[in-house]
Structure 1
Amino acid sequence: MSDSRPSGHPCVLPGDDGRPCGRPSGGTPFALCPAHVELVVEWAGTEWGTTDLLPVPCRACGSRLGVRYPSGWACAACEWRVGDVLDDGLPPPRVDVVYYIRFQDRVKIETTANPRRRLARIWHDEVLAFERGDRLVEHRRHEQFAAWRLDRSEWFKLAPEVEDHIGRLAAGVDDPWARYARWLGEAAALHG
């Protein structure tokens, strides 16, 4: 759809006197001058928040990305309110995941409750996906992909069926770690 209005069309928002501002839009795709665009952006930030780096890492999930609201900060990954106190009397939230990592042309499928610690000890090229689940889910996946299992290990050939399953898990997820952080934050919120 093309805009038939000439570049620099006059701003339609009211000025101090209540009449249309009339200043040129400066080539914006809508009839707002740069000063009114700035006001709209500022209003939107107070209404829906402004994404920025958190002043400190999120205590619930460790993410550095947050959303700043007039009432304070919230973690962009898990929505934990910065400044909210985690109940130190409770154990940390536990989220069991089945992880899928690639090393060259093979995939490891295994479960853990602490993927950062576990994956720091395993040589791999890429984290492909996380799936919520424990040993039972891991066992089901090992049975599901038994035809491509390498010996009796947790490593599998990167067969099309394995790739398809990982693709479904990763659909719409830019960063598997962000998904895991969200799960941790949700567990912490439910926990205490």
Structure 2
Amino acid sequence: MGDGPFGLCAGHIAIVAEWAGAQWGTTDLLPGACRACGSRLGVHYPSGWVCAACEWRVGDVLDDGLPPPRVDVVYYLGFRDRIKIGTTANPRQRLGRIRHDELLAFERGDRLVERRRHGQFAAWRRGTSEWFDASPELSEHVRRLSAGVDDPWALYLRWLGEAAALRG
């Protein structure tokens, strides 16, 4: 008998683990990056692999003639005691060019949403830049955006996958 909560032997634990994997899949690294969104995390079922970020079934054909889907995001970057609010359709490239300590959150939206946020938090804006003091109000907004999101990049990848799925 094992010392686990159910007193099963190692053989029975292996049987239960195999059954659970067949029922709900096993999360693991994909054999290669997801062709739909680029994620490396997948779920392995007896019938094959599915991307954990966008749910693209590995092996399904993508229309390679289409450009990658465009998903505009408003990003929130932390740097010392400041927060930058900006927007981009290519966050990896854009954020790679901006000095920051941490990616705090993504919000789906374009320049219109960015302008609304700049107006909403204008009292804490630093000059005419896109940098703001980390006020309690702005920090609470970022906290709400990131609630339940362990990794903002995973959320962005899910949005890319959804956009790819919607266009067929």
> Could you tell me how far apart the structure 1 residues matched to 2:79 and 2:50 are?
35
**3-state SS in 1 of match to 2:155:** helix
Where structure 1 has 5 or more consecutive residues not aligned to the other structure, the ranges are 1-24
Q: Counterparts of 2:2 and 2:42 in 1: how far apart (Å)?
A: 32
Aligned pairs for 1:169-184 (under 5 A) are 169-184=145-160
Name the count of aligned residue pairs.
168
The AA in structure 2 aligned to 1:153 is S
User: In the alignment, is residue 112 of structure 1 matched against residue 53 of structure 2?
Assistant: no
What TM-score do the two structures reach when normalised by structure 2?
0.96
State the alpha-carbon separation in 2 of the partners of residues 124 and 85 from structure 1. Answer: 38
Say which SS state the counterpart of residue 63 (structure 1) adopts. Answer: coil
Specify which of 72, 75, 78 is matched with residue 102 of structure 1: 78
Q: Tell me how far apart the structure 2 counterparts of residues 84 and 148 of structure 1 sit (CA, whole Å).
A: 48
Aligned match of 2:55: 79
Aligned AA (2:162) = E
**Superposition deviation, residue 27 in structure 1:** 2.5
Could you say which structure has the larger radius of gyration?
Answer: 1
The 5-angstrom pairing of residues 136-175 of structure 1 reads 136-175=112-151
- Measured after TM superposition, the shift of residue 31 of structure 1 is 4.5
- Which residue of structure 2 lines up, in the alignment, with residue 53 of structure 1? 29
What do you get for the CA RMSD once the two structures are aligned? 1.1
Paired residue for 1:41, among 8, 12, 17? 17
TM-score by length of 1: 0.84
RCO greater where, 1 or 2, for CA within 8 Å and sep 6 or more? 2
In structure 2, the gaps of 5 or more residues are: none
Percent identity among equivalent residues?
A: 75
1:91 corresponds to 2:67: yes
Shift of 1:89: 2.4
